[in-house]
A = this chain, B = another copy of it.
Amino acid sequence: MEPVSADAVKARLATQAIETPSWAYGNSGTRFKVFAQQGVPRTVEEKIDDAAQVHAFTGVAPSVALHIPWDTVEDYGKLADYAASAGIRLGTVNSNVFQDDDYRLGSVTNPDPRIRRKAVAHLLDCVDVLDATGSRDLKLWFSDGTNYPGQDDIRARQDRLAEALATVYTRLGDDQRMLLEYKLFEPAFYTMDVPDWGTSYAHCLELGPKARVCVDTGHHAPGTNIEFIVAFLLRAGKLGAFDFNSRFYADDDLMVGAADPFQLFRILHEVVRGGGYEPSAGVAFMLDQCHNIEPKIPGQIRSVCNVQEATAKALLVDTAALAGAQRSGDVIAANDVLMDAYHTDVRPMLAELRAERGLDPDPLAAYRRSGYAERIVAERIGGSQAGWGA
Protein backbone atom coordinates (compact mmCIF):
# COMPACT_ATOMS: atom_id res chain seq x y z
CA MET A 1 0.00 0.00 0.00
CA GLU A 2 1.01 3.54 -0.64
CA PRO A 3 1.57 5.14 2.74
CA VAL A 4 -0.08 8.41 3.58
CA SER A 5 2.58 11.06 4.17
CA ALA A 6 3.29 11.87 7.81
CA ASP A 7 3.63 15.55 6.93
CA ALA A 8 0.18 15.61 5.38
CA VAL A 9 -1.25 13.99 8.48
CA LYS A 10 0.52 16.41 10.76
CA ALA A 11 -0.75 19.35 8.74
CA ARG A 12 -4.30 18.19 9.15
CA LEU A 13 -3.81 17.45 12.85
CA ALA A 14 -2.57 20.99 13.39
CA THR A 15 -6.06 22.35 12.84
CA GLN A 16 -7.77 20.05 15.34
CA ALA A 17 -9.79 21.57 18.18
CA ILE A 18 -11.24 19.58 21.06
CA GLU A 19 -13.39 21.40 23.55
CA THR A 20 -13.19 20.47 27.22
CA PRO A 21 -16.15 20.92 29.57
CA SER A 22 -16.00 23.18 32.61
CA TRP A 23 -17.70 20.53 34.75
CA ALA A 24 -14.96 17.97 34.18
CA TYR A 25 -12.70 20.00 36.44
CA GLY A 26 -15.06 19.83 39.41
CA ASN A 27 -15.98 16.89 41.59
CA SER A 28 -18.26 14.21 40.25
CA GLY A 29 -19.29 10.74 41.23
CA THR A 30 -21.87 8.05 41.10
CA ARG A 31 -25.14 7.95 42.99
CA PHE A 32 -23.25 6.04 45.68
CA LYS A 33 -20.54 8.56 46.43
CA VAL A 34 -18.80 11.67 45.17
CA PHE A 35 -15.16 11.37 46.20
CA ALA A 36 -13.78 14.81 46.94
CA GLN A 37 -10.46 15.73 45.38
CA GLN A 38 -8.12 18.44 46.58
CA GLY A 39 -7.54 21.53 44.51
CA VAL A 40 -10.70 21.39 42.44
CA PRO A 41 -12.03 24.77 41.27
CA ARG A 42 -14.37 26.83 43.38
CA THR A 43 -15.35 29.31 40.69
CA VAL A 44 -15.91 29.35 36.97
CA GLU A 45 -12.71 31.33 36.60
CA GLU A 46 -10.77 28.56 38.27
CA LYS A 47 -12.39 26.07 35.89
CA ILE A 48 -11.21 28.22 33.02
CA ASP A 49 -7.72 28.26 34.48
CA ASP A 50 -7.72 24.46 34.53
CA ALA A 51 -9.07 24.19 31.00
CA ALA A 52 -6.35 26.59 29.89
CA GLN A 53 -3.76 24.20 31.31
CA VAL A 54 -5.09 21.42 29.11
CA HIS A 55 -4.72 23.65 26.08
CA ALA A 56 -1.30 24.89 27.13
CA PHE A 57 0.10 21.37 27.19
CA THR A 58 -1.79 19.76 24.31
CA GLY A 59 -2.25 22.67 21.94
CA VAL A 60 -5.55 21.28 20.67
CA ALA A 61 -8.08 22.23 23.38
CA PRO A 62 -8.64 25.93 22.67
CA SER A 63 -12.12 26.32 24.17
CA VAL A 64 -14.15 25.40 27.22
CA ALA A 65 -17.84 24.53 27.35
CA LEU A 66 -20.05 26.24 29.92
CA HIS A 67 -22.92 24.75 31.88
CA ILE A 68 -25.73 27.05 32.92
CA PRO A 69 -26.52 27.63 35.76
CA TRP A 70 -23.37 26.03 37.15
CA ASP A 71 -21.25 28.63 35.39
CA THR A 72 -23.62 31.56 35.60
CA VAL A 73 -21.96 34.94 35.97
CA GLU A 74 -23.14 38.51 35.89
CA ASP A 75 -21.01 39.57 32.98
CA TYR A 76 -20.25 37.05 30.26
CA GLY A 77 -18.23 39.55 28.27
CA LYS A 78 -15.88 39.83 31.19
CA LEU A 79 -15.77 36.05 31.46
CA ALA A 80 -14.89 35.80 27.79
CA ASP A 81 -12.09 38.28 28.39
CA TYR A 82 -10.89 36.23 31.32
CA ALA A 83 -10.80 33.14 29.13
CA ALA A 84 -8.96 35.00 26.38
CA SER A 85 -6.33 36.18 28.81
CA ALA A 86 -5.93 32.56 29.93
CA GLY A 87 -5.37 31.57 26.32
CA ILE A 88 -8.67 29.92 25.48
CA ARG A 89 -12.22 30.88 24.49
CA LEU A 90 -15.70 30.15 25.76
CA GLY A 91 -17.42 27.46 23.73
CA THR A 92 -20.70 25.64 23.70
CA VAL A 93 -23.36 26.61 26.21
CA ASN A 94 -25.04 23.67 27.94
CA SER A 95 -28.44 24.09 29.49
CA ASN A 96 -29.47 22.39 32.70
CA VAL A 97 -33.10 21.56 33.31
CA PHE A 98 -32.59 18.54 35.53
CA GLN A 99 -31.41 19.74 38.92
CA ASP A 100 -34.41 21.47 40.38
CA ASP A 101 -37.05 19.73 42.48
CA ASP A 102 -39.62 21.05 40.00
CA TYR A 103 -38.19 18.75 37.36
CA ARG A 104 -38.98 15.52 39.20
CA LEU A 105 -41.43 14.49 36.45
CA GLY A 106 -39.72 16.28 33.61
CA SER A 107 -38.80 19.75 32.39
CA VAL A 108 -40.00 20.66 28.90
CA THR A 109 -42.14 17.53 28.78
CA ASN A 110 -43.56 17.81 32.30
CA PRO A 111 -47.34 17.33 32.45
CA ASP A 112 -47.52 20.59 34.40
CA PRO A 113 -47.55 23.60 32.04
CA ARG A 114 -46.06 25.89 34.72
CA ILE A 115 -42.96 23.74 34.92
CA ARG A 116 -42.69 23.51 31.16
CA ARG A 117 -42.75 27.32 30.97
CA LYS A 118 -40.04 27.52 33.61
CA ALA A 119 -37.87 25.09 31.67
CA VAL A 120 -38.34 26.88 28.38
CA ALA A 121 -37.53 30.18 30.03
CA HIS A 122 -34.23 28.72 31.16
CA LEU A 123 -33.45 27.57 27.65
CA LEU A 124 -34.18 31.02 26.31
CA ASP A 125 -31.88 32.46 28.97
CA CYS A 126 -29.20 30.20 27.62
CA VAL A 127 -29.62 31.75 24.19
CA ASP A 128 -29.01 35.09 25.90
CA VAL A 129 -25.76 33.64 27.18
CA LEU A 130 -24.88 32.65 23.61
CA ASP A 131 -25.47 36.25 22.57
CA ALA A 132 -23.27 37.48 25.38
CA THR A 133 -20.39 35.09 24.88
CA GLY A 134 -20.53 34.94 21.12
CA SER A 135 -20.69 31.16 21.32
CA ARG A 136 -22.24 29.42 18.36
CA ASP A 137 -23.87 26.37 19.92
CA LEU A 138 -26.56 25.70 22.51
CA LYS A 139 -26.43 22.08 23.57
CA LEU A 140 -29.65 20.58 24.90
CA TRP A 141 -29.75 17.42 26.93
CA PHE A 142 -33.00 16.51 28.61
CA SER A 143 -33.18 14.12 31.54
CA ASP A 144 -36.92 14.00 30.83
CA GLY A 145 -38.63 10.67 30.79
CA THR A 146 -40.61 8.29 32.94
CA ASN A 147 -39.76 5.45 35.33
CA TYR A 148 -42.97 3.45 35.15
CA PRO A 149 -45.26 2.27 32.38
CA GLY A 150 -48.36 4.44 32.38
CA GLN A 151 -46.68 7.19 34.39
CA ASP A 152 -47.20 9.66 31.58
CA ASP A 153 -48.30 9.75 27.97
CA ILE A 154 -45.34 8.99 25.71
CA ARG A 155 -46.87 10.74 22.74
CA ALA A 156 -48.07 13.82 24.57
CA ARG A 157 -44.55 14.27 25.87
CA GLN A 158 -43.30 14.34 22.27
CA ASP A 159 -45.81 17.07 21.51
CA ARG A 160 -44.57 19.10 24.46
CA LEU A 161 -40.96 18.49 23.48
CA ALA A 162 -41.59 19.62 19.91
CA GLU A 163 -43.29 22.78 21.12
CA ALA A 164 -40.45 23.69 23.48
CA LEU A 165 -37.80 23.05 20.87
CA ALA A 166 -39.64 25.17 18.32
CA THR A 167 -39.84 28.06 20.76
CA VAL A 168 -36.12 27.98 21.41
CA TYR A 169 -35.27 27.44 17.75
CA THR A 170 -37.19 30.55 16.79
CA ARG A 171 -35.13 32.56 19.25
CA LEU A 172 -31.78 31.49 17.76
CA GLY A 173 -29.72 34.08 15.91
CA ASP A 174 -28.54 33.60 12.37
CA ASP A 175 -25.21 32.14 13.36
CA GLN A 176 -26.42 30.17 16.33
CA ARG A 177 -27.24 26.50 16.41
CA MET A 178 -29.09 24.04 18.60
CA LEU A 179 -27.51 20.66 19.31
CA LEU A 180 -29.96 18.01 20.48
CA GLU A 181 -28.42 15.21 22.49
CA TYR A 182 -30.04 11.80 22.94
CA LYS A 183 -29.62 9.19 25.65
CA LEU A 184 -30.99 5.69 26.06
CA PHE A 185 -31.58 5.74 29.80
CA GLU A 186 -30.62 7.44 33.04
CA PRO A 187 -31.84 9.26 34.94
CA ALA A 188 -35.21 8.02 33.66
CA PHE A 189 -35.49 4.26 33.38
CA TYR A 190 -38.64 3.37 31.49
CA THR A 191 -38.72 6.00 28.78
CA MET A 192 -36.42 8.84 27.89
CA ASP A 193 -38.06 11.50 25.76
CA VAL A 194 -35.05 11.64 23.41
CA PRO A 195 -33.70 8.10 23.70
CA ASP A 196 -31.93 7.63 20.41
CA TRP A 197 -30.49 9.32 17.36
CA GLY A 198 -33.66 8.69 15.37
CA THR A 199 -35.72 10.79 17.77
CA SER A 200 -33.18 13.58 17.82
CA TYR A 201 -32.83 13.48 14.04
CA ALA A 202 -36.57 13.60 13.46
CA HIS A 203 -36.97 16.66 15.67
CA CYS A 204 -33.95 18.40 14.13
CA LEU A 205 -35.28 17.74 10.65
CA GLU A 206 -38.58 19.32 11.56
CA LEU A 207 -36.94 22.30 13.22
CA GLY A 208 -34.65 23.25 10.36
CA PRO A 209 -31.02 23.70 9.39
CA LYS A 210 -29.88 25.29 12.64
CA ALA A 211 -30.78 22.15 14.60
CA ARG A 212 -28.37 19.25 14.60
CA VAL A 213 -27.81 16.00 16.44
CA CYS A 214 -25.20 15.64 19.18
CA VAL A 215 -23.71 12.16 19.55
CA ASP A 216 -22.56 11.32 23.08
CA THR A 217 -20.52 8.15 22.72
CA GLY A 218 -21.78 6.77 26.04
CA HIS A 219 -25.51 7.10 25.38
CA HIS A 220 -26.35 4.01 23.34
CA ALA A 221 -27.80 0.56 23.88
CA PRO A 222 -25.34 -2.32 24.06
CA GLY A 223 -24.33 -3.42 20.59
CA THR A 224 -25.13 -0.15 18.88
CA ASN A 225 -22.77 0.68 16.02
CA ILE A 226 -21.97 4.32 16.73
CA GLU A 227 -19.88 4.88 13.62
CA PHE A 228 -22.84 3.88 11.49
CA ILE A 229 -24.85 6.67 13.11
CA VAL A 230 -22.00 9.09 12.52
CA ALA A 231 -21.77 8.13 8.86
CA PHE A 232 -25.54 8.38 8.45
CA LEU A 233 -25.81 11.80 10.09
CA LEU A 234 -22.88 13.19 8.09
CA ARG A 235 -24.54 11.98 4.89
CA ALA A 236 -27.72 13.75 5.97
CA GLY A 237 -25.88 16.92 6.96
CA LYS A 238 -27.21 16.63 10.50
CA LEU A 239 -24.18 15.74 12.62
CA GLY A 240 -23.63 18.70 14.89
CA ALA A 241 -21.30 17.57 17.63
CA PHE A 242 -19.68 14.83 19.65
CA ASP A 243 -19.66 14.44 23.37
CA PHE A 244 -16.73 12.09 23.74
CA ASN A 245 -16.22 9.73 26.64
CA SER A 246 -15.95 5.99 27.00
CA ARG A 247 -17.97 3.28 28.64
CA PHE A 248 -17.94 -0.39 29.41
CA TYR A 249 -21.63 -0.75 30.39
CA ALA A 250 -23.75 2.36 30.55
CA ASP A 251 -23.03 6.08 30.56
CA ASP A 252 -19.82 5.52 32.51
CA ASP A 253 -18.27 8.83 31.40
CA LEU A 254 -14.76 7.41 31.53
CA MET A 255 -11.81 8.91 29.67
CA VAL A 256 -12.48 8.66 25.95
CA GLY A 257 -10.50 5.88 24.32
CA ALA A 258 -10.01 4.06 27.62
CA ALA A 259 -12.64 1.38 27.14
CA ASP A 260 -12.56 0.76 23.40
CA PRO A 261 -9.85 2.63 21.53
CA PHE A 262 -10.68 0.75 18.33
CA GLN A 263 -14.24 2.04 18.41
CA LEU A 264 -12.95 5.59 18.81
CA PHE A 265 -10.73 5.05 15.78
CA ARG A 266 -13.62 3.67 13.74
CA ILE A 267 -15.74 6.69 14.67
CA LEU A 268 -13.01 9.09 13.61
CA HIS A 269 -12.48 7.13 10.43
CA GLU A 270 -16.12 7.76 9.52
CA VAL A 271 -15.75 11.41 10.52
CA VAL A 272 -12.81 11.81 8.16
CA ARG A 273 -14.47 9.70 5.44
CA GLY A 274 -17.67 11.74 5.61
CA GLY A 275 -15.98 15.14 5.54
CA GLY A 276 -16.78 15.82 9.17
CA TYR A 277 -13.21 16.68 9.99
CA GLU A 278 -13.27 19.68 7.66
CA PRO A 279 -13.94 22.90 9.63
CA SER A 280 -16.65 23.76 7.10
CA ALA A 281 -18.65 20.70 8.19
CA GLY A 282 -19.48 22.39 11.45
CA VAL A 283 -18.95 19.36 13.64
CA ALA A 284 -17.96 20.27 17.19
CA PHE A 285 -15.65 17.86 19.03
CA MET A 286 -16.18 17.99 22.76
CA LEU A 287 -15.36 15.89 25.79
CA ASP A 288 -18.06 15.05 28.32
CA GLN A 289 -16.53 13.03 31.11
CA CYS A 290 -16.45 12.53 34.84
CA HIS A 291 -13.14 11.87 36.49
CA ASN A 292 -14.55 10.22 39.58
CA ILE A 293 -11.41 8.55 40.83
CA GLU A 294 -8.57 9.97 38.74
CA PRO A 295 -7.26 13.56 38.90
CA LYS A 296 -9.24 15.93 36.70
CA ILE A 297 -6.66 17.84 34.64
CA PRO A 298 -4.53 14.78 33.84
CA GLY A 299 -7.74 12.98 32.96
CA GLN A 300 -8.59 15.69 30.44
CA ILE A 301 -5.07 15.78 29.02
CA ARG A 302 -5.03 12.03 28.56
CA SER A 303 -8.46 12.17 26.90
CA VAL A 304 -7.51 14.95 24.51
CA CYS A 305 -4.40 12.99 23.55
CA ASN A 306 -6.48 9.85 23.02
CA VAL A 307 -8.76 11.69 20.58
CA GLN A 308 -5.72 13.12 18.85
CA GLU A 309 -4.11 9.69 18.48
CA ALA A 310 -7.29 8.15 17.10
CA THR A 311 -7.59 11.04 14.66
CA ALA A 312 -4.00 10.59 13.53
CA LYS A 313 -4.67 6.94 12.82
CA ALA A 314 -7.87 7.78 10.95
CA LEU A 315 -5.95 10.26 8.82
CA LEU A 316 -3.37 7.57 8.07
CA VAL A 317 -5.90 5.28 6.38
CA ASP A 318 -4.86 4.65 2.79
CA THR A 319 -8.18 5.61 1.26
CA ALA A 320 -7.28 4.61 -2.29
CA ALA A 321 -6.21 1.14 -1.22
CA LEU A 322 -9.29 0.86 0.94
CA ALA A 323 -11.65 1.84 -1.85
CA GLY A 324 -9.93 -0.59 -4.19
CA ALA A 325 -10.24 -3.52 -1.84
CA GLN A 326 -13.86 -2.64 -1.11
CA ARG A 327 -14.73 -2.39 -4.79
CA SER A 328 -13.18 -5.77 -5.49
CA GLY A 329 -15.02 -7.39 -2.60
CA ASP A 330 -11.81 -8.54 -0.90
CA VAL A 331 -13.04 -8.65 2.68
CA ILE A 332 -9.75 -9.40 4.37
CA ALA A 333 -7.71 -6.99 2.28
CA ALA A 334 -10.15 -4.16 3.00
CA ASN A 335 -10.14 -4.91 6.70
CA ASP A 336 -6.34 -5.07 6.58
CA VAL A 337 -6.06 -1.59 5.11
CA LEU A 338 -8.06 -0.18 7.99
CA MET A 339 -6.22 -2.22 10.62
CA ASP A 340 -2.89 -1.20 9.17
CA ALA A 341 -3.62 2.38 10.13
CA TYR A 342 -5.01 1.37 13.50
CA HIS A 343 -1.97 -0.73 14.42
CA THR A 344 0.42 2.09 13.61
CA ASP A 345 2.00 3.65 16.67
CA VAL A 346 1.32 7.33 16.08
CA ARG A 347 2.86 8.57 19.29
CA PRO A 348 6.21 9.42 17.71
CA MET A 349 4.44 11.44 15.03
CA LEU A 350 2.43 13.33 17.62
CA ALA A 351 5.56 13.99 19.65
CA GLU A 352 7.11 15.51 16.54
CA LEU A 353 4.03 17.59 15.85
CA ARG A 354 4.11 18.98 19.36
CA ALA A 355 7.81 19.75 19.19
CA GLU A 356 7.27 21.58 15.91
CA ARG A 357 4.63 23.68 17.60
CA GLY A 358 6.82 24.45 20.59
CA LEU A 359 5.08 22.08 22.95
CA ASP A 360 6.51 19.36 25.12
CA PRO A 361 6.27 16.05 23.26
CA ASP A 362 4.65 14.42 26.32
CA PRO A 363 1.82 16.69 27.55
CA LEU A 364 0.95 14.65 30.62
CA ALA A 365 4.52 14.37 31.85
CA ALA A 366 5.03 18.07 31.22
CA TYR A 367 1.91 18.96 33.17
CA ARG A 368 3.05 16.80 36.07
CA ARG A 369 6.42 18.51 36.13
CA SER A 370 4.85 21.96 35.95
CA GLY A 371 3.87 22.18 39.61
CA TYR A 372 0.37 23.37 38.73
CA ALA A 373 -1.27 20.42 40.50
CA GLU A 374 0.56 21.14 43.74
CA ARG A 375 -0.17 24.85 43.42
CA ILE A 376 -3.94 24.48 43.17
CA VAL A 377 -4.03 22.07 46.08
CA ALA A 378 -2.20 24.64 48.16
CA GLU A 379 -4.13 27.68 46.98
CA ARG A 380 -7.70 26.48 46.59
CA ILE A 381 -8.52 26.34 50.26
CA GLY A 382 -11.86 27.51 51.58
CA GLY A 383 -14.93 28.28 49.56
CA SER A 384 -16.99 25.41 48.29
CA GLN A 385 -15.58 23.08 45.72
CA ALA A 386 -17.32 22.99 42.42
CA GLY A 387 -19.14 19.78 41.69
CA TRP A 388 -22.20 18.79 39.82
CA GLY A 389 -24.73 21.40 40.74
CA ALA A 390 -22.18 23.50 42.56
Contacts and interface: CB of A to CB of B under 8 A. Distances in A.
Contacts of A336: 150, 302, 364
Contact of A343 (B101, B247, B250, B347): B347
B185 A248 contact: yes
Given A32-B143, A196-B198, A335-B149, A223 B221 contact: yes
Contact of A258 (B152, B335, B347): B335
A99 interface: yes
Interface string A89-126: 00000000011010111000001100000000000000
Contacts of A36: 101
| Interface size range of chain A in the complex | 35 or more
Given A255-B148, A335-B149, A228 B273 contact: no
A184 B101 contact: no
Interface in A331-349: 331-332, 334-339, 342-345, 347
A32 B98 contact: yes
A375 interface: no
A149 B261 CA distance: 12
A196 to B, nearest CB: 6
B235 A155 contact: yes
Chain copies in the assembled complex: 4
Contacts of A329: 105, 111-112
A280 interface: no
A199 interface: yes
B225 A223 contact: no
Given A31-B29, A105-B329, A345-B344, A147 B293 contact: yes
Which of A104, A184, A197, A247 is packed against the most chain B CB atoms within 10 Å? A104
B221 A222 contact: yes
A187 interface: yes
A201 interface: yes
Nearest to A231: B154
Contact of A236 (B148, B202, B222, B224): B202
A186 B292 CA distance: 12
Interface in A165-201: 184-187, 189-191, 195-199, 201
B232 A249 contact: no
A57 B191 CA distance: 31
18 contacts: A31-B31, A31-B388, A32-B388, A35-B101, A147-B252, A147-B294, A148-B255, A150-B336, A150-B337, A151-B335, A154-B231, A154-B270, A195-B225, A198-B201, A198-B202, A225-B248, A260-B260, A336-B364
Q: Which 8 A-B pairs have the closest CB atoms?
A: A198-B198, A150-B338, A221-B221, A222-B222, A30-B187, A189-B252, A345-B345, A294-B331
